[in-house]
Every structure is written in structure tokens, then in C-alpha cells.
Amino acid sequence: MGFQYLIIDDCWMERFRDTITQKLQPDRERFPSGMAALSHYIHGRGLKFGIYHDVGRKTCMFGGPGALGHFQLDAQTFADWGADYVKLDGCFATEYQRDTGYPAFGNAMNRTGRQMVYSCSWPFYKEEPDYRLIAKHCNLWRFGADIKDSYTSVFEIMELYRRNQQYLLAHAGPGRWNDPDMLVLGNFHLSYEASRLQLAIWSVIAAPLIMTNDLETVRPEIKQLLQNREIIAINQDLLGIPGRCVRTSTHFQVWLRPVTPVNDLGKHSFAVAFVNRGNFSHCPLCPRPFKVVLEHLGLDSPTGYYVVDLFKSSRHLGMFKPNDAFSTRINPEGVTFYKFTVAPLL
């Protein structure tokens, strides 16, 4: 459980392939010992090695050589380097090249014989993605635009997921994950409340938790969030059932995910995130109370639920039955996050 992969994003390569072998070449100044040596170094520290590539002619930001026309060669190169994860972007390609290229590159990865996680940007480039087909070929898929270091960007991605959750949930599960993009908490702009919000919602929807920050400059309070074992356990729950937004209004949202344990009645435990969107005309920056009867959210086990505040794991709130009202107080543009552990059948 926890963060396992160290992933090198775009700009790692030379601008041209090797003239003799046609293989990709790492930047000689940034990686003078080569990628196989870097992979060995990462593996030696108990982590896994990930790398970026593009299905088209060139990579998105750097403009380095893409995979088009070299699928098997590049997949084998990554396998030879000991890669455990490949992110394949979709720039500088036609829709036809993407629709044929993403499955073809996945098949090429499989033919290498090395197990590698396959991250696709395929649906981002399509107006009406076929998630059934995408889930057949990819382990995770980016469904929205690149995230920015702001509350607005985080909430826009939440809204994109909410509006499309019927389709995003239909084919997601173990080995097939919706990817809303990386965690931006730990950078410079996102507030503490918005940092809590992103971590909670990404965990509810079973998103891959991939940090994009300078670990040496992460503030202590954000480091504490990123190392919250209870929330990571929700994100990586063994059932692998992604959550959804079950209530939304002008001011509030409720997001819910079924998790372990499950009792003898077949009733799940749940992770529940309560979101204060703000937008109040009176005192828009004030915390707001929110109350809901549990059975109205689908928490209907007659045995009841033991409740823990996931941001304060030592804070046990007691036992709640389905007809009990649960109250919480939420900071503006923030979240409260709880685990409702279903009680066993006695």
C-alpha cells in the first residue's frame, strides 16, 4: 500500500532516434548513465519505474520522437530498460492513428513478456470515447484535460467526472481505472482545504494517486495529508469499486464509495466525502453545517455503522443507524471525509 512508482514524464529523450538501431535515446546530459541504469537505481530503492511516450509522430511538450511506426521496437526498448509503467500520450496523431495505435502499442507491450502498467490518454482526444474498448486495452485512462494547480481546475475535473460518471463507472474496476490526472497538492497555489478536497475525491473515485511536486519543498501539513494511511487505504481498497457523486446542489455535494469490510448481510462499508462548494451570498467564506439521514445516502445496514474521521483517524464518532442523521461542518471550497464501517451481524 502506498506510492510505488517513480515516473519520468516528457522531455527525457533526445530529439532524434539512434540512426542505426532506430531506438529511442535518453537525453545524454540529464541521464548520462542511460535509462537501464536509472531503472536499476529506482528498483534498488524498492520502487517501480515508469516512463512517458506518445502514440503519434512527436511527444506533446518536447517534440521528441513518438512511437508511430515503431510500436514493437519502443515497447521492447522499455521492457529492456526494466520499465514497469508506460504512459502513452496522444499528440501529433490523427484520430485513426490513435484508435489503431493505442490497442497496437498495448499488444506490443504484451508481446515483450514483461508486465507493464499501460496508461492511455486515448479518451481525452475523443468526443465520444468507447470506454468498453478502452478498458479492454488500457489499465488506466485520462478522461480530461491537464490539471492545473488551482481549486478551479480540481473542481472542473470533479464536475467532468460527475457529469459522465454513468459511462466512466461502467467499465472501471480492478486493473481498469479512470485517471483524472495527477495530484497537485504539495506545489505552490492550492490551498490546504483544496488539497484535502483533491485527495479525498481522488480516493473516492479510485483514481491513481500520482504526485507531481518537489518532495524536498512539500509543506509539513501537505506531507501529512499525502502520508495519510487511512485515506490511501480507501483509495487502494481491495474491492476496487470506484465511487460516485450521489448528491449535488448549488452549495454542497456528497461523494460515496463502497469499501471493505462487507458484513454477513452483504452490506458494504462506505467512504463518504461531504463537499462545500461555497457560492453562499451571505458570508461566502464561512464554514457551513450539513446534515443528512444515512439511509437517504444508501447506508441501510440494520447493524449500523461505526464512523471515523479520515483526516483525524483517532477521532471516532460512534455508532450510527440508517435512520440517524449525520452532521458535519465543512470549510468553504473544502471537504470532510469519513469512513462508515459496517457493523457485523451478531
Catalytic sites, residue numbers:
89, 146
Helix (H) or strand (E) holding 51: strand 48-54
Of the candidates 108, 112, 1, 7, the one whose C-alpha atom is nearest the C-alpha of residue 50 is 7
Cα–Cα distance for residue pair 328/309, rounded to 1 Å? 10
**3-state DSSP assignment of residue 88:** strand
CB contact set of 259 (below 8 Å; sequence gap of 6+):
234, 237, 239, 241, 268, 269, 270, 271, 339
Cα–Cα distance for residue pair 230/240, rounded to 1 Å? 16
Cα–Cα distance for residue pair 11/19, rounded to 1 Å? 19
Neighbours of 335 (CB within 10 A): 24
Cα–Cα distance for residue pair 174/210, rounded to 1 Å? 17
What one-letter code names the amino acid at 116?
Answer: M
What one-letter code names the amino acid at 104?
Answer: A
DSSP bridge pairs for 306? 319, 341
Cα–Cα distance for residue pair 330/173, rounded to 1 Å? 30
- From residue 203, alpha-carbon distances to 29, 105, 235, 328, 336 in Å are 37, 29, 4, 19, 13
